[in-house]
Structure 1
Amino acid sequence: MKGSLSVTVDLEDWYHIPSVCSSPFSVYRNVDEFFRSWHGRYDYLSEPTKRVLDILDEFNVNATFFVVADTIEHYPGLVESIADRGHELACHGLSHACKIDPETKKQLMSVEEFEQRTLTAKKMLEKISGEKLIGYRAPNALVSGWMIDSLEKMGFKYDSSVSVNSFYNKTDSALRTVSSYPYYPEETELEAGIDRNFLEFPWAYCQHGLKFPASGGPMLRFLGSSFILDGLMQSLKRGHTIFYFHPLDISCARFPSLGNKRPFYWCIKGRLVEQRIRHILSKLDDVEKISLRDYPGVSCV
């Protein structure tokens, strides 16, 4: 097999998703408004995160955790426990707010606001890890070329948000030159270009005529482990690729019934999805697994 694999985990809670907070169609404009209004239980994240850490230990995987930085404030000790177990911390935004509109792909915040909020998140996470933070994943995978330019300016070395497939595109680029292996994005856009001081780690896809998104996440919940494995195996033949999931995917708790437009988003999760993650990791046991900071190309950018 040609490529190596990075196991990545998106650390966010149920209210961070766009149907609840920080998107054009959410119930609450932002997480601050949510916490001013919500008086019930909010922490559905701590318990499944601890289980994820145990699973990673069991399979001897050093993962990259893309952390929503406001979890540091609301979940004392949780992010610290991830760093203490030797996993890479990377940035998943300050509060998981959409930076571009999911439909039009137009900016929802200025470049200045994006840079200010992202730098704040970067510094918060660096204080926890004691190391320079170099990785980013866009909340909801909504990413644009102008964001990449800003990330490079702020000292990030890579992003991992782009998903090439035949069904949706969460970027403002056509992605005609992008596959499932790492590349250098062109300035101001996300097409593949020549060397620059920044890498993009796109997600896996499964090609059967059409290209099906197959890196994990919601597709793991709705389509199962066999489909994801097929996509990962195909993508590994092309080069390095990405597997990802959320601690919430394996939560057995019933989340609050709150949110717009996505009533079935969490209808499949819990032990079933945990079994799928274990199955995928066991089937890929002989594949080299590295955190994104340890990918050879990152040290060169």
Structure 2
Amino acid sequence: MSGSLSVTVDLEDWYHIPSVCSSPFSVYRNVDEFFKNWNGRYDFLSEPTKRVLNLLDEFNINATFFVVADTIEHYPGLVELIVDRGHELACHGLNHACKIDPKTKRPLMSVEEFEQRTLVAKKMLEKISGEKLVGYRAPNALVGGWMIDSLEKMGFKYDSSVSVNSFYNKTDSSLRNVSSFPYYPEENELEASSDRNFIEFPWAYCQHGLKFPSSGGPMLRFLGSSFILDGLTQSLKRGHTIFYFHPLDISCARFPSLGNRRPFYWCIKGRLVEERIRHVLGKMSEVEKICLRDYPGVSCV
């Protein structure tokens, strides 16, 4: 294995997922509407996030946390705790709203609205971190080339949303010449170019004829750690790659039965998935691990 690995954590709560809020098929149009109508428990995030921080301490790993900015308001002290433990903050949107349609890949908001919302999120997170925020991950990994242009304009240095595989494409580009290692995206595109002041960190995949997405997240929950390790091992031979998960993945609480179209989304989680993460990190113990902000190319763009 020749590449380095970035361990990344998506900080979002159960109501941020597209079946509940802020997607074309969600129960609520946005998070504000959710909080106006929801009277039950909403914080399923704090306890597993603290366990994730302890897990990262156990393996002496500094991770990149892609944070939904409204968690700052709804979970006082939680994002501050991540910074206090030495991890990088990056932006995962203001409240995890989809920016492009999952089916058509057409924009769900104007460029102006995207930039306004993202700048608000960026400033909120910078206030907590005390330093310039340079990283972004699109909510639900739905990303368009036009978003990259806006992110660069706003002062971001990298994005990490692209997942190359043979089964789905959550971008508005064909990704013909994109693999699992960092690259410079073309303007208004997500195809690989030769040079730019912005880097895309795509996710891992394993190739057995077809390309299987294997960077973590739902694939970790449903297909297990051996599958993820296969993808990470293959991707590390190509260069730097990404492992990711959510604190919710290791939550032992039962989430509310609210949501459209994804009834089995959280059927596998909890201690089982926590042990899978621990197994992956243990097997990757000899691999160099860096926050995305510390990747050599980021400091140069």
If the length of structure 2 is used for normalisation, what is the TM-score? 1.00
Q: Which amino acid aligns with 2:111?
A: V
**Percent identity for Structure 1 against Structure 2:** 89
Query: Residue 11 in 1 paired to residue 11 in 2?
Result: yes
Give the RMSD, CA atoms, in angstroms. 0.3
1 CA distance for matches of 2:55 and 2:75? 20
Q: How does 1:128-207 map to 2 (within 5 A)?
A: 128-207=128-207
Map 1:15-94 onto structure 2 (within 5 A): 15-94=15-94
The answer for the alignment partner of 2:255 in structure 1 is 255
Deviations 1:179-224 (A, max 9, x none): 0000000000000002111000000000000000000000000000
| Matched ranges for 1:237-248 at <5 A | 237-248=237-248
Q: SS of the counterpart of 1:267?
A: coil
Q: What is the rounded CA distance, in whole Å, between the counterparts of 1:89 and 1:12 in structure 2?
A: 13
C-alpha deviation, 1:250, in angstroms: 0.1
2:185 aligns to what SS in structure 1? coil
Amino acid at match of 1:2: S
- Alpha-carbon separation, structure 2, partners of 1:70 and 1:124: 9
Give CA deviations for 1:58-110 in whole Å, capped at 9, x if unaligned. Answer: 00000000000000000000000000000000000000000000000001000
TM-score when scaled to structure 1? 1.00
Unaligned stretches of 5+ residues in structure 1: none
Which sections of structure 2, spanning at least 5 residues, go unmatched? none
Distance 2:173 2:287 in 1: 31
Q: Residue 283 of structure 1: CA displacement? A: 0.3
How many residue pairs get aligned? The number is 301
1:270 and 2:270 matched: yes
Partner of 1:222: 222
- C-alpha distance in 1 between matches for 2:22 and 2:164: 24
Provide the C-alpha distance between the structure 2 equivalents of 1:193 and 1:270, rounded to a whole number of angstroms. Answer: 41
* 3-state SS of 1:274 partner: helix
Q: Which amino acid aligns with 1:271?
A: R
Task: Using the TM superposition, give the Cα deviation of residue 16 of structure 1 relative to its aligned residue in structure 2, in angstroms.
Answer: 0.1
Secondary structure of 1:32's aligned partner: helix
User: Partner of 1:297: helix, strand, or coil?
Assistant: helix
Q: Secondary structure at the match of 1:151?
A: helix
